[in-house]
Chain A
Amino acid sequence: MKYSIRSARAQDCRDIERMIMELALYEKMPDQVKISHKELERDGFGPNPFYQCLVAEVPEERSSAEGHTVVGYVLYYYTYSTWSGRCIYMEDLYVMPQFRGEGIGKALMASVAKVCREQQCVRLQFSVLDWNKPSLEFYLSKGAQDLTDKEGWHLLRFDGEALESLAEEAP
């Protein structure tokens, strides 16, 4: 078997941390990664998980040059639409460059689509950077719609100082 997809375990967090950094480097924002495998373990494998994760694993004989057998992951969580109810948001999807072209990315996404079906989630949402042509094409070919383009949605954020000062004004 060329690869397998399975639920992540707490012990996978170091591999997940490594791949998160690889993806952040590709997205040109590595300095924005602030958490490590410790937070990933606490937040994903405690009594109240904040995310779910599936990993792609290859047999020992196919391991990467550095000896890694966990070669891809998808990190997702449940969200809620006031229009249609339960949804899943796919936060990260990544396959190491040397293992691409084998259908691992497709298999990881299909696994999440299966979870959607099992958990009665009506849609799968995710964000893509506008310059990321390979990913844009991949998702569009799977039937994804660009809602920023189609409906004009923009993602906004309050963080750091803005969030703190907003909170300080609370009664």
Chain B
Amino acid sequence: MASRFILRNAEPKDVSDILRLIKELAKFEEMEEQVVLTEKELLEDGFGEHPFYHCVVAEVPEEKQTPEGKVVGFAMYYFTYDPWIGKLLYLEDFYVMKEFRGYGIGSEILKRLSETAVKCRCSSMHFIVAEWNKQSIEFYKRRGAADLSHEEGWRLFEIGKQSLIKMSAK
């Protein structure tokens, strides 16, 4: 069915598709109401003077497209820094529409990202996965990923806007 597809860098015209897929992934993670990002912000933040992220999209030919369009998967990433080893590639979101899975789109996206990481002199690629998401954890572990929370004890913390305002006012 969807055996033919292409991967390409996202363009400004893709922002509505990207937001659609972001919401689909958030729904799967049971946190749909937490998506407050708009198309306007995605456009400004990804394609403005200072891009905050990079994006790769998977597209199927016209005859395979859904009512929503030809873009059926995406990965959003950016570069981070580890003071021990230098540049890293951080994978923020990675999603393929349910009906287009099983055709290798996810694997191809991951390979392309790792190629980008190696080309850009990144020592590794980091990302977070929810511990109940066994399917995704297996997908990554099969390809050689290490669970640093499990192996080294790292816990992810966050300080939200209200606490930040309080802290910066002192």
Contact = CB atoms under 8 A, between A and B. Distances in A.
Interface of A: 16, 20, 24, 29, 32-35, 39-40, 43-44, 50-51, 75, 77-86, 89, 91-92, 106, 109-110, 113-114, 116-117, 122-131, 136, 139, 142-149, 151-167, 169-171
Chain A contact residues, majority secondary structure: mixed
27 contacts: A33-B85, A50-B81, A78-B78, A79-B80, A82-B37, A83-B36, A84-B34, A85-B37, A89-B80, A91-B83, A106-B170, A110-B167, A126-B157, A130-B155, A145-B159, A145-B160, A146-B155, A148-B149, A148-B154, A149-B155, A154-B128, A154-B147, A155-B127, A156-B126, A156-B148, A158-B144, A170-B114
Interface string B86-129: 11001011000000000000001011101101100001111111
A85 B93 CA distance: 12
B85 A35 contact: yes
Given A20-B84, A50-B87, A158-B124, A128 B144 contact: no
Contacts of A82: 22, 25-26, 35, 37, 76, 92-93
A127 B108 CA distance: 30
Nearest to A151: B130
Given A35-B85, A85-B37, A162-B144, A113 B115 contact: no
Contacts of B126: 155-157
Contacts of A130: 153-155
Nearest to A42: B86
A114 B31 CA distance: 28
* Interface bracket on B: 35 or more
B124 A147 contact: no
B3 interface: no
Contacts of B148: 154-157
B129 A156 contact: yes
Interface in B121-170: 123-132, 137, 140, 143-150, 152-168, 170
B108 A171 contact: yes
Contact of A148 (B86, B92, B112, B155): B155
Nearest to B80: A77
Query: Which of B45, B81, B117, B163 has the most chain A CB atoms closer than 10 A to its own CB?
Result: B81
